[in-house]
A and B are shown apart, each in its own frame.
Chain A
Amino acid sequence: MSRRNSNLVIFALLILGSVGMVFPFWWMLTTSLSTPAEATAAGSAGTFNWLPTHPQFQNYPAALARMGSRPWFGFFDALANTIIITALTVVGQVLSCSLVGYAFARLRFRGRGPLFILMVATMMLPAQVTMIPMFIMFRSFGWVDTYLPLIVPAFFGAPFFIFMFRQFFAQVPEALVEAARVDGCGHFRIWWQIMLPICKPVIAITAIFTFIAAWNDFLGPLIYLQTEENMTLAVALNSFQNQYGDFREANYLMAASLVTMLPCIVLFFVAQKQFVSGLALGGVKG
């Protein structure tokens, strides 16, 4: 096979794979813009709507208004809760992981090695083992149905991101730190004023991955949040789909699902570069 031909084959495979990847999402989009009759007629008639002939944009406000028991409140409560929880989780994760990562990378203290090994070992631990006792613990604090069980642990660092910060800080030239130390800068100030500003790439990666994980988290909010006003979008969407579980109004379901995905899609396209570099950094060296 000539080089040109093999290139063509590879290109064809790439396109085929991409079509397969996008296809369900495209169908989701067309369903969300169809009338209920169009959406459910597809199967029985053996016809397929590649493009909605009359896009029903009003499906979107109609779907969101239907979430929860009070029109619009269900959606906006959930949106606000998700934003608050996600934002605070991101802040907590970046602050704690960078601080701990800096100490592991640059400061000499006895016990550093064993502690670091212990931390790496906990990465393998399945979350289900700690999930139940943590629920009991947080319940005894009276934290059930508040944001706290979802936010507070983020302020105590996560091994994976601590590891990433440590790898980055270990490569910072000593001269930079030395100069600050001669000027009488304390270790906390070095972290805050010198280290944090130069590790923007790692901060970006940590923030993005934490954002995605927190935004999509389902099990945590499912366990801890109980009243409708405190639900996150993931849990609210699940109640919504249970309510319309027979898919007689699939167009509304798809519209609501797409809206909850939208922030992650936007973030992905805005921060594509960080995504790519982050996976390379975290994955291969991990």
Chain B
Amino acid sequence: MLKELEKEWTENDRRDEVASQDRPVPWTLLASLAALPIAAGLFVGGFFWWRGRPARGALSEEIAGLSMVSPWVIGFMAFTAFPIFLSLALSFCRWSSLTTLDHAQFVGWDNFRSLFGKDTTFYHALKATALYALLTVPTGQLAALIAAMLLNRESKWIGIFRSIWYLPGVLAGVGMSVMWRWVFHHEHGLFKTLIDPMMPAGWHFPAVFEKDAETWGVPAFAFINLWTIGGTMMIYLAGLKGIPKDLYEAAEIDGALGWKRFRNVTLPMLSPVLFFNFIIAIIASFQVFTQAYVMTGGGPGHATRFYVVYLYNQAFDFHEIGYSSAMAWLLLLIILGLTLLVMKGTKRFVYYEALKA
């Protein structure tokens, strides 16, 4: 499967042929260009820090504070800032990680041009991921919210239900993916065994990860996601518990019950939590990897090759670091864009006063 993809990729490499021109990346120049402002910044910053230093007692507190946050600052520099800039530089390069960094070729916008123009596999990956996000975000949030509302009551049994609904989320990993493969198995799977006898003659439960994957593969992953709503559910539950009781009492006096009460009290009071959960869910849905990699490896064909699965293929199977870095940066931009869009679109509906209650 992977072999086919690799063959396809190497045979009609979709990027423009610039490699023959030999345009090595000027790493030393780039490094010095980056180092100069950093050094200057450190020097100027250090100078002003020292000049405006507080009196002795406060100074020792300041030094202690700075050295205590230094683990995170160093970690940020080494594991976030530096990688992001290296990733950005690499996204304009063509470089096989089987060679050393000085073999990297500068190719300008070629990687991005291929992503949008020529690479049909990427188009499949983007489509599958967008569909997954579209299916999984609303269903997951709705299920989590309903579950939380069911659990939002006093009873000695509630703790047991809460545990049962939360537990699968803790187990999400390779083991659970193996389990789902077996549950959806096209011959001996649980759904096949259970549902097939109930189907009208001539109908069969689809082989979601085999021959019917083109239609059912992505929805199946969205369905599986319903077993990991536990964390979201608990956040909703905490949000529901935070709504003051007198608001409900006031609503009852006004005769608002059922849907009206939900629409006019619960929803606005819960809106910051809803907003938070939606953003987290959108971000997570674009990063789906483990389930797909373990269960289908992206196949059959490209039916379940999600964005990060294809990114992994490019980076660690084909060693195309430049191309996969371009994909990673594009993912960052997509996530950022979607987050801003949701923020802007929901501004009117999020009632931040609820946080103060």
- Other A-B contacts than A18-B165, A128-B287, A247-B185, 12 sampled, CB-CB below 8 A, are A24-B179, A39-B188, A108-B62, A125-B332, A132-B321, A135-B316, A234-B174, A250-B182, A257-B174, A268-B163, A276-B234, A284-B235
Q: List residues of chain A with CB within 8 A of the CB of B123.
A: none
Q: Are B234 and A279 in contact (CB under 8 A)?
A: yes
Q: Are A130 and B79 in contact (CB under 8 A)?
A: yes
Choice from A31, A126, A237, A257 contacting B287 with Cβ under 8 Å: A126
From known contacts A247-B182, A284-B273, infer whether A124 and B283 are also in contact, taking CB-CB under 8 Å: yes
Q: List residues of chain B with CB within 8 A of the CB of A197.
A: none
**SS class of chain B's interface: helix, strand, loop or mixed?**
helix
Is B31 part of the contact surface with A, judged by Cβ < 8 Å?
no
Q: List residues of chain A with CB within 8 A of the CB of B78.
A: 137, 156
Choice from B61, B276, B311 contacting A107 with Cβ under 8 Å: B61
Q: Are A157 and B150 in contact (CB under 8 A)?
A: no
Q: List residues of chain A with CB within 8 A of the CB of B188.
A: 39-44, 247, 250
Closest 10 CB pairs of A and B: A156-B75, A216-B173, A107-B65, A109-B65, A103-B68, A283-B235, A43-B188, A133-B83, A187-B64, A280-B238
From known contacts A108-B62, A126-B331, A280-B234, infer whether A157 and B83 are also in contact, taking CB-CB under 8 Å: no
Choice from A43, A260, A267 contacting B189 with Cβ under 8 Å: A43
Choice from A14, A162, A216, A286 contacting B72 with Cβ under 8 Å: A162
Question: Interface code B326-337, partner A: CB below 8 Å = 1, 0 otherwise?
Answer: 001101100110
Identify 24 residue pairs between A and B in the complex whose beta-carbon atoms are under 8 Å apart, listed by A's number: A21-B227, A40-B188, A42-B188, A43-B192, A96-B75, A104-B69, A107-B65, A108-B65, A109-B66, A110-B49, A112-B65, A124-B335, A126-B331, A128-B287, A129-B329, A135-B315, A162-B72, A188-B68, A191-B68, A235-B174, A237-B175, A238-B174, A257-B178, A268-B166
Q: List residues of chain B with CB within 8 A of the CB of A44.
A: 187-188
Residues of chain B whose beta carbon lies under 8 Å from any beta carbon of chain A = 49, 52, 58, 60-66, 68-69, 71-76, 78-80, 82-84, 86-87, 90, 97, 101, 147, 150-151, 153, 157, 161-168, 170-176, 178-183, 185, 187-190, 192-194, 196-197, 227, 231, 234-235, 237-239, 242, 273, 276, 283, 286-287, 289-290, 293-294, 308, 311-312, 315-316, 321, 324-325, 328-329, 331-332, 335-336, 339
From known contacts A162-B72, A268-B167, infer whether A218 and B227 are also in contact, taking CB-CB under 8 Å: no
Min CB gap A101→B, angstroms? 9
Is A84 part of the contact surface with B, judged by Cβ < 8 Å?
no
The residue on A at minimum CB distance from B97 is A136
The winner among A125, A135, A157, A284 for most chain B CB atoms within 10 A is A284
Q: Are B179 and A25 in contact (CB under 8 A)?
A: yes
Min CB gap A249→B, angstroms? 11
Q: Are B64 and A107 in contact (CB under 8 A)?
A: yes
Q: Are A153 and B190 in contact (CB under 8 A)?
A: no
From known contacts A28-B182, A112-B65, A284-B239, infer whether A46 and B332 are also in contact, taking CB-CB under 8 Å: no
